[in-house]
Amino acid sequence: MSSTSLLPKTISPFLTTPPSLPSTHFFININKPCFFNPQGQVDHSPCSRKLTKYSTPHAKKWNEWLDPFNDGDDPDLEYGSLFADGKQDEDPRPPDDPDNPYGFLKFPPGYAVEIASLGSKVRGDVRRCCCLLSGGVYENLLFFPAIQLIKDRYPGVQIDVVATARGKQTYEMNKNVRWADVYDIDQDFPDPGEYNDMLGVIRNRYYDMVLSTKLAGFGHAAFLFMSTARDRVSYVYPNVNAAGAGLLLSETFKAESMNLADGGYHMYHQMLDWLGRPFRSVPRQPVPPLKVSISRRLKEFVEEKYKAAGAVKGKYIVLHGIESDSQASMQSGSDTDSLLPIEVWGQIAEAMRGFKPVFVIPHEKERENVEEAVWLLLDDPSIVFITTPGQLAALINDSAGVIATNTAAIQLANAREKPSIALFGSEEKSQVFIPNAEEKKCTIVSSKTGRLKDIDVGEVIKAMQTFDLSLVLA
Amino acid sequence: MAEATLGFTITNPHIRNSIHPPKHDLNPFSKSLRQCSTSGFFTGSHQLQESKKKRASLCKVNALPDWPLMAVLVENFNGIDFITTKTVTHLSDRAIKNVYVFYIFYTCWGCLFFGSMKDPYYDSEYYRGDGGDGTGHWIYDKQADIEESARRELWREELIEEIEQKVGSLPELEEAGRK
């Protein structure tokens, strides 16, 4: 390379004069490849196609470090039948071979399992996808549309989830998920044994795509890199902590703030945009609404539970968001002021007509407090102890409506299309967490002072007329 | 060696008496033996002994070379010498230690092995039940598998619901079409 640094000086006189010496041919030839261009000037070699890539609107700057030989798509390339347009096939599995002497191997002779078809690589098929999710129940619940979108965009994909212990419980309500493993990616200093174990688990499953909603720095990016997945997609820190993460990831989203949950209902919109991006002949995939499914067994279990508490199906209203230090309060990660003291709930319950209020307590120790607070107002309060989001969803599903603060209960009510009253600390928060409230039969009552405690109970009682209306309509 | 021979031969004189020829009746047995061992060896059956010696040297195998030799009994019976080697075994300290070690090990292993052969615990449902077949290859009834199958069940339920909705709406449409 030392000779190339001398090139401009040595060549410039030769270029002006007609090439007479045979040695000049050699120098001129090696000047053509762009990586020999010592001054970094804009050249007119075939490498300039890279520049057209940058100029496309809404496209991020291509990270040259990831693949220095990637010149972008070839516009002249004609895709044959192997690179079929459209979405991937549902199930590429070859037919079962009953004559196989090994029994468990279901591949016909001559079929090399190890070699995936080149077409799937070129199309970017995703057969196995892993989602690593940070946060608790609320954040995991809001990721459900993304999982549905992946399922719709890549037919036949198997989606696995790695979530925290609390967040994992949410996947009781998701039919699209195959495995749900517990691993806390939010830990700054994970136990080396657990770290290696989870890394091994993820590697063993040979994922095509790994999504992560943790804000990745170099460390988390390295974890994703070691998963050996083809597409490593993650959010990155919006600040200097993201340094180096982009090298190990194939797609990054710069978070708008340090807490992803600040985005509210649309907290994953960057990732959803990317997941549903149009590709060749596949149009943009629309983002599906939040939907949860509740199994029959869960419904039966919860029915017994609320019957024991003295509630009748369809004749009660769920109250969720009692102040407690329990971990099972299902708040959002960004909205910490989202629990009301039991006295306020007592006032709301007292004004309820025609329906029985059902208090959902996150811990058994709260039962006494609730009984103490409401024994004057209600002769027989219904108290149900529920910690898992699945049971809460089943309870909400059988109810006439929900009154809740900003907890997962309000999102579940919207997902099951139940009339609901959402109590928020401020107007802005309510718009962030429930963007289109009218469509979802959700009435929003927000505090004027910015603190949830100062909420006007009269307004809540006024809003309760929606339940009566829905009863009349039903 | 002579004393040792004497001492041993006295212990069981009856057999010798019955075996021995009557001409030695009067003499004490030990004496005759000694005579035999001294005189008979080299006089009476010299020829025979010579050939025997050759053969003995040919096929002599010392099975236990380290065992201390205590006595050699030589009898002449009808001109044939019977040589009986008497020994008393004293084990060395090392050998005694080895024996005890073996004994301890065997006892420990035996207690565990034979003790567990007929153990109601290992035959119980608690031990065998959860996928364990006692062979070391355990098939765990994993929580993850239960959850995964529950989710698959959920998916099927939803699918059936969807189909029911579609099928339910189909006859209504057909009826509406007929009318």
Cα distance from A274 to chain B (closest Cα, Å)? 26
Q: How far is B157 from chain A (nearest CA, A)?
A: 7
Q: How confident is the model at residue A282, as a pLDDT?
A: 85
Q: From the candidates B147, B148, B151, which should be mutated to test the interface with A, based on the most A CB atoms within 10 A?
A: B151
Give the best-scoring range by mean pLDDT among A85-99, A123-137, B112-126.
Answer: A123-137
Q: Any idea which of A144-158, A184-198, B17-31, B105-119 has the lowest mean pLDDT?
A: B17-31
Position A97 pLDDT exceeds 90: no
What was the pLDDT predicted at A113?
A: 61
- Quick check: B142 contacting A, CB < 8 Å? no
Residues A419/A466, Cβ–Cβ less than 8 Å = yes
Contacts of B144 in chain A (CB under 8 A): 179-181
Residues of B in contact with A297 (CB under 8 A): 150
Beta strands in chain B (DSSP E): 69-77, 80-87
Write down the mean pLDDT value for chain A: 81
Q: pLDDT band at residue B15, thresholds of 50, 70 and 90?
A: very low
A228: left (phi over 0), alpha (psi -120 to 50) or beta: left
CA A16 to chain centre: 60
pLDDT range class, residue B35, cuts 50, 70, 90: very low
Minimum distance, in Å, between the CA of residue B143 and any CA atom of chain A: 10
Radius of gyration, alpha carbons of chain B: 44
Residue A327: is its pLDDT beyond 60?
A: yes
CB A179 within 8 A of CB B157: no
Q: What is the pLDDT of residues A407-435, one digit of tens each?
A: 999 999 999 999 999 999 888 889 999 99
Identity of the amino acid at A183: Y
Amino acid identity of residue B37, one-letter, is S
Given CB atoms, is B25 within the 8 Å cutoff of chain A? no
Confidence band for A25, pLDDT divided at 50, 70 and 90: very low
The tally of CA atoms less than 13 A away on the side-chain side of residue B137 is 0
CB contact under 8 Å between A178 and B148, yes or no, is: yes
Cα separation, A326 vs A344, whole angstroms = 19
Structure confidence at residue A79 (pLDDT): 66
Asked if the model's pLDDT at residue A470 lies above 70, the reply is no
Q: What ipTM, to 2 d.p.?
A: 0.72
How large a percentage of chain A has pLDDT more than 70? 78
Closest to B74 measured CA to CA, from B48, B35, B104: B35
Give the Cα separation of A347 and A456 in Å (integer): 11
Of A176, A181, A295, the CB nearest to B150: A295
Say if residue B13's pLDDT is above 50.
no
Residue A291 exposed, middle or buried by CB count within 10 Å (0-12, 13-18, 19+): middle
Task: Determine the pLDDT at residue B104.
Answer: 97
Contact B155 A176 (CB under 8 A): yes
pLDDT bracket for residue A13 (50, 70, 90): very low
Count of CB pairs separated by less than 8 Å, A with B: 28
Region B131-138 average pLDDT: 54
pLDDT, residue B39, reads 41
| Inter-chain CB proximity A178 and B151 less than 8 Å | yes
Q: What integer pLDDT is reported at residue A133 of this predicted model? A: 95
Interface test with A, best of B154, B156, B161 (most A CBs within 10 A): B154
Does the CB of B158 have a partner CB in chain A at under 8 Å?
Answer: yes
Q: Encode pLDDT of A222-265 as tens digits.
A: 999 999 998 999 999 999 999 989 899 999 999 999 999 998 99
Stronger pLDDT, A8 or B118, i.e. the higher one: B118
Q: Please give the residue that has the higher pLDDT: either A256 or A85.
A: A256
Question: Which two tokens mark A249?
Answer: 């990831």
Distance separating the N- and C-terminal Cα atoms of chain B: 132
Q: In this prediction, what percent of chain B has a pLDDT beyond 70? A: 51
Instruction: Output the pLDDT for position A47.
Output: 39
Q: What is the average pLDDT across B89-111?
A: 91
Q: Is the pLDDT of residue A396 over 90?
A: yes
Q: Where are the beta strands (DSSP E) in A144-300?
A: 158-163, 177-182, 209-216, 231-236, 251-254
Residues A142-200 have pLDDT tens digits of 999 999 999 999 988 999 999 999 999 999 999 999 999 999 999 889 999 999 999 99
Contact B154 A171 (CB under 8 A): no
Classify domain A123-275 at the CATH superfamily level.
Answer: Glycogen Phosphorylase B; (3.40.50.2000)
Residue A161: the pLDDT is: 96
- Range of weakest confidence among A78-82, A347-351, A372-376, B167-171: A78-82
List chain A residues with CB under 8 Å of B147: 171-172, 180
Q: How far is A174 from chain B (nearest CA, A)?
A: 7
pLDDT at A361: 92
For residue A171, the chain B residues in CB contact (below 8 A) are: 147, 151
Domain coordinates in residue numbering, chain A = 3-43, 123-275, 296-473
The pLDDT value recorded for residue A354 is 82
Residues in chain A within 8 Å Cβ distance of B164: none
Distance from CA of A176 to the nearest CA of B (A): 7
| Portion of chain A with pLDDT greater than 90, in percent | 45
B153:A174 CB<8 A: no
pTM to 2 decimal places = 0.67
Q: Which of A280, A263, B100 is nearest to A272 (CA)?
A: A263
Q: A272-325 pLDDT, tens per residue?
A: 999 998 887 788 999 999 999 999 999 999 999 999 998 999 889 999 999 988
The structure tokens listed for A15 are 């270029």
Please name the amino acid found at residue A406: N
Residue of B nearest to A180 (CA): B144
* B144, B148, B154 member nearest A295 (Cβ): B154
Question: Which candidate from A176, A180, A297 shows the least CB-CB separation from B147?
Answer: A180
H or E element, residue A401: strand A401-405
Alpha carbon A329 to chain centroid distance?
21
Amino acid A18: pLDDT: 40
Give yes or no for B147 touching A (CB within 8 A).
yes
Of B144, B148, B153, the CB nearest to A295: B153
What's the pLDDT band for A210 if we cut at 50, 70, 90? Answer: very high
pLDDT of residue A33: 38
Interchain contact, A175 vs B154, CB within 8 Å: yes
Could you tell me the pLDDT band of residue A100, with boundaries at 50, 70 and 90?
Answer: low
**How confident is the model over B126-136, as a mean pLDDT?**
59
Mark residue A138 as left, alpha or beta (left: phi above 0; alpha: psi -120 to 50; beta: remaining).
alpha
User: Could you check whether A123-275 and A296-473 share the same CATH topology?
Assistant: yes
pLDDT value of position A471 = 61
In chain A, helix, strand, coil percent, each to 5? 40, 15, 45
Partners of residue B157 in chain A, C-beta under 8 Å: 293, 295-296
Give the A-side interface with B, CB within 8 Å: 171-172, 174-181, 293, 295-297
Q: Identify which of A172, A174, A179 has the shortest CB distance to residue B144.
A: A179
Instruction: Identify which has the larger pLDDT, A328 or A96.
Output: A328
Measured CA to CA, the distance from residue B121 to residue B119 in angstroms comes to 5
CATH of A296-473, one of 3.40.50.10800, 3.40.50.12780, 3.40.50.2000, 3.30.1490.20: 3.40.50.2000
Look at A195-204, A234-243, B20-29, B85-94 and tell me which has the smallest mean pLDDT: B20-29
Q: What is the pLDDT of residues A112-121, one digit of tens each?
A: 666 666 667 7
CA distance A472 to chain B (A): 25
pLDDT reading at A64 higher than 90: no
pLDDT, tens digit, for every residue of A334-348? 888 889 998 888 888
Distance from CA of B158 to the nearest CA of A (A): 8
- A351 alpha carbon, distance to own chain's centre: 39
